[in-house]
Amino acid sequence: MAGKTALLVIDMQHDFTLPGAPAYYETTGEMMPRLCENINRLRELGVLIVIVYSIVPKDHPINPELTRVGKNRTLVEGTGGELLDERIPYDPARDIKLRKYAPSAFIKTDLLDMLHERGIENVLVSGVKTNVCCRATATDAYSYGFRTFMVSDMLATNTAELSQFHLDEMTKYMAKAIDSDEVFRRLDAGEL
């Protein structure tokens, strides 16, 4: 069933992945080697890899009442922070690279059609931030009828505790949180 599964890799861009960047957290640095290794392993098993990124135009209006975004903009076009981290394995012959325009990778993109065209039934969500774009994407994947999983050890946000809180909430309602060992176990058993 691996051919019916897609891994969405959300926002692994310099502003989130490089130490000292505006939205870098140690949890991301700790998660990065596992994510990179597992992208390659999953691809070899036939899982569709979708590298999702966001670029904010320089002149994009920001609501000044948003305390985090208003103070320290991230992923702004032309700053270098919007660039995909070169450590993320990408195979242009097999993977999809998709620019998103909203927190969810499904909004104003062709992601839904791409997944349907390939017969995808299961969506694995990875990347950053667990509680923002990853959660929004997982919510929409569930809403569109995909069997959705948050890959807990391939996700990161400000703290491990904050990430776990959101994973627990998602597991209750929309997307079961499982670690990468469980992903591979399910793939081996033909459950994904």
pLDDT for residue 1 is more than 70: no
pLDDT at 81: 86
Angle at CA 58, nearest 5°, toward 52 and 63? 90
Q: Which CATH class is domain 2-188?
A: alpha beta
Given a cut of 90, is residue 56 above it in pLDDT? no
| DSSP one-letter string for 12-80 | -BHHHHSTTSTT--HHHHHHHHHHHHHHHHHHHTTPEEEEEEE-B-TT----TT-HHHHHS--SBTTSS
Question: Which residue ranges make up each domain of the chain?
Answer: 2-188
pLDDT score of 55: 87
Per-residue burial over 13-27, b if 16 or more Cβ lie within 10 Å, else e, is bbbbbbeebbbbbeb
Task: Kindly list the distances between the CA atom of residue 191 and the CA atoms of 1, 26, 80, in Å, as whole numbers in the listed order.
Answer: 7, 33, 40
Tell me how crowded residue 121 is: count the other CB atoms within 10 A of its CB.
15
- pLDDT of 114 above 90: yes
Residue 168 clears pLDDT 90, i.e. is over it: yes
Report which DSSP code applies to 131: I
Q: Is the peptide bond before 129 cis (omega within 30 degrees of 0)?
A: yes
Beta carbons of 8 and 126 less than 8 angstroms apart? yes
Tracing tokens 């509680």 back to the chain, one arrives at 131
Residue 70, pLDDT > 60, answer: no
- pLDDT confidence of 67, banded at 50, 70, 90? very low
> Would the pLDDT of 48 be above 90?
yes
Taking 80 as the threshold, does the pLDDT of residue 57 lie above it? no
Helix (H, G, I), strand (E, B) or coil at 138: helix
Place of tokens 């948050």: 150
What span, in angstroms and rounded, lies between the C-alpha atoms of 81 and 102? 17
**Residue 171: pLDDT above 90?**
yes
